């Protein structure tokens, strides 16, 4: 991912550093690639998974991805992960926050990245649809951030 993309996202985060921010996107949108370039940012999974039991982890990590798995992950994450101002959380769940930055990716690029990582494009699109519905229903301020 071009560093200019990370720099652009970092500037956006700095402009809103007084807010609790979540940066969301379906699998393969570049969250893990962008994250190391963002000071004081956290991966939702790194915050959540150490708090889960083995059975909870096994359940949310199974494939194929389903809406029920997604709903369970949302409940667990919202219950156990807290977002603080100046420390954005990157993930796949709309946590309690003031601002959502949504990583937007074209279907063509998503398909390419899914194939490269051997991830199901269908699962990625299903997760993306759930995220879009969550964002719409949240009523939170949202900024779309294009990753390709």
Mind listing the pLDDT tens digit for each residue in 126-148? 889 989 999 999 999 999 999 98
Q: Is residue 117 exposed (0-12), middle (13-18) or buried (19+ Cβ within 10 Å)?
A: exposed
- Outline where DSSP puts E strands in 1-148: 21-24, 42-43, 89-91, 99-104, 141-146
Question: What's the rounded Cα separation, in Å, for the pair 7 and 55?
Answer: 39
Confidence of residue 3 (pLDDT cuts 50, 70, 90): low
Torsion of CA 16, 18, 20, 22, to 10 degrees: 20
* 52: phi then psi, degrees, rounded to nearest 5: -90, 150
Mean pLDDT of the chain: 93
> Does the model's pTM come out above 0.75?
yes
Give the integer Cα–Cα distance in Å for 68 and 9.
31
Structural domains for the chain:
3-146 (3.40.50)
Does the pLDDT of residue 63 top 90, yes or no? no
Name residue 104's beta-bridge partners: 146
pLDDT tens digits, one per residue of 78-124: 999 999 999 999 998 999 999 999 999 999 999 999 999 999 999 99
Percent of the chain with pLDDT over 90: 84
- pLDDT reading at 1 higher than 90: no
If you average pLDDT over residues 72-83, what whole number do you get?
A: 95
């Amino acid at each position: 991912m071009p560093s200019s993309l990370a720099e652009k996202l970092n500037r956006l985060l700095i402009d809103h550093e007084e807010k609790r921010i979540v940066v969301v996107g379906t699998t393969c949108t570049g969250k893990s690639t962008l994250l190391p370039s963002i000071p004081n940012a956290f991966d939702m999974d790194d915050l959540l998974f150490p708090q889960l039991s083995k059975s909870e982890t096994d359940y949310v990590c199974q494939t194929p991805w389903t809406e029920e798995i997604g709903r369970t992950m949302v409940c667990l994450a919202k219950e156990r992960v807290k977002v603080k101002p100046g420390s954005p959380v990157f993930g796949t769940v709309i946590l309690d926050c003031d601002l959502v930055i949504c990583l937007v990716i074209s279907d063509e690029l998503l398909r390419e990245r899914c194939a490269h990582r051997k991830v199901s494009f269908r699962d990625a699109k299903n997760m993306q649809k759930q995220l879009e519905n969550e964002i719409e229903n949240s009523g939170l301020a949202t900024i779309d951030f294009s990753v390709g």
